[in-house]
Structure 1
Amino acid sequence: MRLKRFIPNLITLLNLFCGSIAVILAVENNFVYAAFFVILGIFFDFFDGFFARKLQVQSELGVQLDSLADMVTSGLVPGIIMYKLLALASTSPEPNVGSWDSFMTLGDTEVVPLAFVGLLITLGSAYRLAKFNIDEEQQSFFKGLPTPANALVIISFPLILEFQNSDAMHAIILNTWFLLGITLLSTYILNSPVKLFALKFKNYGFQDNAIRYIFLILSLVLLVVLQFAAIPLIILTYIILSLFSK
C-alpha cells in the first residue's frame, strides 16, 4: 500500500530529475539534448497525475511536489534557453538595441544584460504555478497557459535553428525584438485570465471530447507538415480552440 502511494511521487521526481539535467545542458549550450530532457520531463509530468488518479492516491504532497518539479523543467529551463537565445541574437547582424545588447563581464563570465529579460519566463512560470496551487477552480480547465505548453514553445526555437534549414525562420528567431516580444507575451499568457480546456479525458466519446480530438488531429497534421516549426502553431491553435469552445 505504501509503495502504491509513492508511485506518482516517484514519477514526479523523474520529471524533476530530467529538468535538472536539462538545466545543466542548457547552461552548456546543448539545446537539443536540453529540449529532449524537457520533453521527457513533461511526459513524466503528464503521467504522475494520471497514475495518482488511477491508483486513487492523490495527496497535497503530490500537488506541491508536482509544481516544484514543473518549476525546474518548465520554468527554469525555458528561461535559461531564452537568455541564451537573446545572447546569441546579440551576435547576429540584425540591428541591436544599444549597449544593453552588448557583452559585459561579471567576474570571469561574459553576459548580455538585455538577455536577462528572458528570465521573466521563469518568474512568470513561478507565479503561475503558485496561483494554480491555491486556485480551486482549475479542475476541468486551465486559467492561463500551462507551464509545460509554454516550455514547449520556447524549446522549439533552438530545435528549429538546429534541424530546419530555413533562412527566413532563422532570421526571425535570432531577431532580438522577436525574442523580447515572445518573452513578454509568454510571461503574460502564463498568467492571463483566459480559460483553456484541459486534455483530460473522463471518457473517450467524441461528443464529450470533440474539441480535444480536433486539437489532437490538427496537432498531428501540423507536426507532419512543419516539424518543429509546428509547435508554436499548435499552442496558438490550442488557445484559439479554447476561445471558440466557450
Structure 2
Amino acid sequence: MKQVPNILTLSNLFCGALAIIFILHAPQYIAEFNGTEYSITNPAPVYWASLLVVIAGVIDYFDGFVARLLKVSSPLGRELDSLADVVTFGVVPGMILFRLLRSAYLQQPDVFDVSYFNLAPALLVPCFAAYRLAVFNLDTRQSEHFIGVPTPAVGFLVASFPLIMLYNPYNLAHWLENIWVLYGIIFLLCYLMVSSHPMISLKFKNFSVKDNWPRFLLVAVTLVSIPVLRYAAVPFIFAVYVGLSLIVPPKSAEK
C-alpha cells in the first residue's frame, strides 16, 4: 500500500509526458490565403494536452491526500511529486505558450523573419516552475499555505488557453492572438511562481468558516463561475485566487 501515492504521482507524470507528445505532434499543413502560403497547426491535439493537464491536476491533489490517509508520506514521495509537477505544470504550459506565440506570429506581416529567439521566452515558464518547486521542497513554511503561486494553478490557467481559442468566450481568443499579451502572461506567471507573496492552500485542516472563509469563497466562486463563464472561468478563478491571497493573506503566513 505504501507505493499507492507514488503510483498516483507517476500517473501525473505520465499524463504530462503524453501531453507533450500531443503538443509536439500537432499536425501541420500548408494553407494558401491571398496568394500567400502559411503553415497552419491543427489545434486538436493541443486540446487533448489541456485535458491531460486537468486530469494530472486532480491526481496531484489526491496523491498527497492518499499518502496522509495511508500514513505513508515520505521524502521520496515529496521529491517524486516535484519531479512530476515540473513536467506536467512546467514543461507542458511552456510548450502550449510556445505554440500560441508561434500562432500569434503567423499573423504578423513579417512572419517569415521570426526566429526561435522570439518564441524562447515561453520556455522561461518551465525554468521558473523548476526553481519554484525546488524552493518549495526546502521551505518548511509552506505546510499550510504557499509562498508564490503553485505550479498546478499555472498549469490549469495555461491549459485553458487552447480551449478559449477554440470556443472564444467573450472574445478572449482575440487577446491570446496578441504576442505582447502572451509575453505579458509569461513574465507575470514567472514572477508569481517565485514571488514571496503568501498564497491560499486548499488543504482544509478543519471546516470552521472562521478559519477557512477565503477557501470557501474560492470554492463558491469556482462552482458559480464555471457554468456561467465556461472556459473563461479558469482565468477568472486564477485572478480571484491571486487577488484574494494578496488582499487576505493566509492566517498561517502571519505566524
TM-score (norm 1): 0.89
Residue type of the alignment partner of 2:56: G
The one of 58, 72, 85 equivalent to 1:43 is 58
Residue type of the alignment partner of 2:166: E
Query: What residue number does 2:146 align with?
Result: 142
Query: What residue number does 2:231 align with?
Result: 228
Within 1, Cα distance between the matches of 2:25 and 2:167?
19
Alignment: residue pair count: 231
Trace 1:73-222 onto structure 2 (pairs within 5 A). 73-93=88-108, 102-104=113-115, 112-164=116-168, 168-222=171-225
Query: What residue number does 1:71 align with?
Result: 86
Shift of 1:208: 2.2
Flag structure 2 segments of 5+ consecutive residues without an equivalent.
Answer: 27-44, 250-255
Residue type of the alignment partner of 1:12: T
Residue type of the alignment partner of 1:65: L
Shift of 1:165: 5.6
Once the two structures are superposed, residues 79-100 of structure 1 have per-residue CA deviations (whole angstroms, 9 ceiling, x without a partner) of 001011000000125xx7x78x
Whether the aligned pair in 2 keeps the contact of 1:144 and 1:195 (CA below 8 Å) is yes
- Superposed structure 1 runs of 4+ greater than 4 Å apart: none
Once the two structures are superposed, residues 37-67 of structure 1 have per-residue CA deviations (whole angstroms, 9 ceiling, x without a partner) of 1111111111110011111111000000000
Whether the aligned pair in 1 keeps the contact of 2:169 and 2:232 (CA below 8 Å) is no
Within 2, Cα distance between the matches of 1:129 and 1:165?
32
Shift of 1:116: 1.3
Once the two structures are superposed, residues 164-208 of structure 1 have per-residue CA deviations (whole angstroms, 9 ceiling, x without a partner) of 365x32221110000000001111100000001110011223222
Within 1, Cα distance between the matches of 2:113 and 2:165?
22
**DSSP 3-state at the match of 1:235:** helix
Flag structure 1 segments of 5+ consecutive residues without an equivalent.
Answer: 105-111
Whether the aligned pair in 2 keeps the contact of 1:90 and 1:102 (CA below 8 Å) is no
TM-score (norm 2): 0.86
Within 1, Cα distance between the matches of 2:247 and 2:186?
25
